[in-house]
Amino acid sequence: MTACLFDLDGVLTQTAKVHNAAWEETFNNFLRARADETGQPFQPFDPGADYSRYVDGRPRADGVRSFLASRGVELPEGSADDPPEADTVYGIGTRKNEVLLRRIAEDGVQVYDGSLAYLHAARWVGLHRAVVSASANCRDVLIAAGIEELVEVRVDGVIAREKGLRGKPEPDTFLAAAAQLGVEPGNAAVFEDALAGVTAARAGEFGCVIGVDRVGIGDELLANGADIVVSDLGELLVGAER
């Protein structure tokens, strides 16, 4: 292995729970209004099962489509310029992003201690380092967390859109990051906490896929293609307590 490709939210930074809360607030507001309009019972977004199955690791619009499809709801696509008031796929995605940015501004961004130690160790031994995230806010989060200088390459939602890369669970973004680092997929390790991300890494035939289980989905990460599962990247450091 000569390179490490890290997902951001839930692997390096503690923003996965902020994303989850933003999705929950956004979807529940939409579902509650829809229930009032149709007379059907309000079934709230499940921040456990619904988040991991339909949203986590996916590009924003894909997460909206996937979750709403699970509830039998189909909306117009709209466009990336749709305002947050629009009841379209992109409009709901914009609503979620506004909630996310508000929560980040209020609460800040925390880095997992084990992940920070692993990033420093990887740089020290000469491993290449990239962040591969579906988030369009990836660069802002890296800066807010103070870890932008620890990674050499960033492939995020903005870059994926510019280059026409398919999002996770397709392997395109991971493959693009490996290419930018100048390494073959077989010589790179992927670190992912999302089922879609693990699936993408396995599809890209990366040399090692490490599942990071922060929420108790280790068996599912293994079933989707992780070679091993850890609860924190600190477990992978020599001399770390087991």
Digit-coded pLDDT (tens) for 167-188: 999 999 999 999 999 999 999 9
Residue with tokens 């992940």: 115
102/117 same-domain check: no
Lowest-pLDDT choice from 14-18, 74-78, 228-232:
14-18
Residues 96 and 195 in one domain: no
For residue 239, the model assigns a pLDDT of 61
Residues 231 and 122 in one domain: yes
Task: Look at residues 82, 107, 132 and tell me which one is the last residue of a structural domain.
Answer: 107
Q: Which segment of 15-24, 83-92, 144-153, 207-216 scores lowest on mean pLDDT?
A: 15-24
Which tens digits make up the pLDDT trace of 198-240?
999 999 999 999 999 998 999 999 999 999 999 999 999 976 5
- The answer to whether residues 120 and 217 belong to one domain is yes
Do residues 61 and 154 both lie within one domain? no
Residue 107 is a catalytic residue: no
Examine the domain organization and report whether 138 and 79 are in the same domain: no
Prior bond of 44 cis (ω within 30°): no
The residue among 237, 173, 235, 164 whose CA lies nearest residue 200 is 173
In the numeric block, the tokens 């599942």 are attached to 211
Confidence of residue 72 (pLDDT cuts 50, 70, 90): very high
Computed over every residue of the chain, the mean pLDDT equals 94
Given 89, 107, 125, the domain boundary residue is: 107
- Characterize the bridge pairing of strands 188-192 and 128-132: unpaired
Which residue range forms the structural domain that includes residue 56? 16-107
Closest CA to 231 of 214, 209, 208: 214
In a domain, 193, yes or no: yes
**Domain annotation covers residue 188:** yes
Q: What percent of the chain is modeled with pLDDT above 90?
A: 83
Q: Is residue 8 part of a domain?
A: yes
pLDDT, average across residues 82-105:
93
| CB-neighbour burial class of residue 216 (10 A; exposed 0-12, middle 13-18, buried 19+) | exposed
Spot the catalytic one: 7, 50, 156, 213. 7
Tally the domains of the chain.
Answer: 2
Query: Do 119 and 229 belong to one domain?
Result: yes
State whether 153 and 231 are in the same domain. yes
CA distance 234 to 242: 9
Do 231 and 143 share a structural domain? yes
State yes or no: is 56 an active-site residue.
Answer: no
| Nearest Cα to Cα of residue 57 among 16, 110, 109 | 16
Per DSSP, 187 falls in state G
| Final residue of a structural domain among 52, 85, 107 | 107
How far apart CA 96 and CA 60 sit, in angstroms, is 9
Contact 137, 97 (CB under 8 A): yes
Identify whether residues 230 and 116 lie together within a single domain: yes
* E strand or H helix that includes residue 36: helix 16-38
Same domain (yes/no): 30, 43: yes
Please state, in angstroms and rounded to a whole number, the distance separating the CA atoms of residues 98 and 196. Answer: 24
Decide if 242 is inside a domain.
no
